[in-house]
Amino acid sequence: MIVPCIDLMDGKVVQLVQGRDKALEGDAPLEMLRKFAAFPEIQVIDLDAAMGKGENSVLVELLAARARCRVGGGVRDAARARRLVDQGAHRVIVGTAAFTPALQEIAAAVGPERVIVALDSKNGKVVVKGWVEATDFTAEEVIGRMAPFCGGFLCTYVDKEGMLQGTDLDWFRRLRAATDREITAAGGITTIDDVRQLTAMGVHAALGMAIYTGRLDLAELAALNNNL
């Protein structure tokens, strides 16, 4: 499955490089949703909520009411996860909180099948708290013990995120071998060949910068997605 991304900051659709520097702004949220209408699921990340700088809850609710959305950003406890589901989110993405007892509570509140755990890797180690704090372990080491509390994983190769320089396909192969849960790849996916290789190994592709800059054609992606 190919999953287009809508990242929200200050009420606007944006794309960041490595989660820090704003590279561009997209069209209005509903216009982006219209452009992505051919895809079965959209990824919506509230960057302000993720960074603890407010939230875009009105826009999140607007998008979730109109499309099947997986929503992330600031999901630190069961109450926030439940609220997003009540607002229409099909699934919730849990990042930093996945490495705390809150993961079990979130899974109990909304059901593990509605939880996607974000495993973000930089310099070979999982990073948390907006990708600024490195842990001592790799994604391959923790993916197995988190599997009972989620329906899948969003795995971001932060080293190349937003840079349009390709991604680490070997890393995704190792992750695919480490769990039978759904895996969605993100970070540096740039070409249609990247997408084909990921889907061939049974990994979904979350696409942001390559779509927004026109490096990947939406019509070609939609056609590929329909054949998966």
| Burial (CB count <10 Å: 0-12, 13-18, 19+), residue 226 | exposed
Closest alpha carbon to 190 in 214, 210, 220: 210
Phi-psi region at 187: left, alpha or beta (left = phi > 0; alpha = psi -120 to 50) = left
Can you read off the two tokens belonging to residue 196? 């084909």
Say whether 7 is catalytic: yes
Candidates 46, 48, 120, 194; catalytic one: 120
Residues near 53 by Cβ (< 8 Å), separated by ≥ 6? none
What distance lies between CA 228 and its chain's CA centroid?
Answer: 20
Candidates 7, 46, 48, 194; catalytic one: 7
Q: What is the DSSP annotation of 114-163?
A: GEEEEEEEETTEEEETTTTEE-SS-HHHHHHHHGGG-SEEEEEEGGGTTS
Closest alpha carbon to 186 in 200, 173, 172: 172
What distance lies between CA 13 and its chain's CA centroid?
Answer: 15
Residues annotated as catalytic (active site), given as ranges: 7, 120
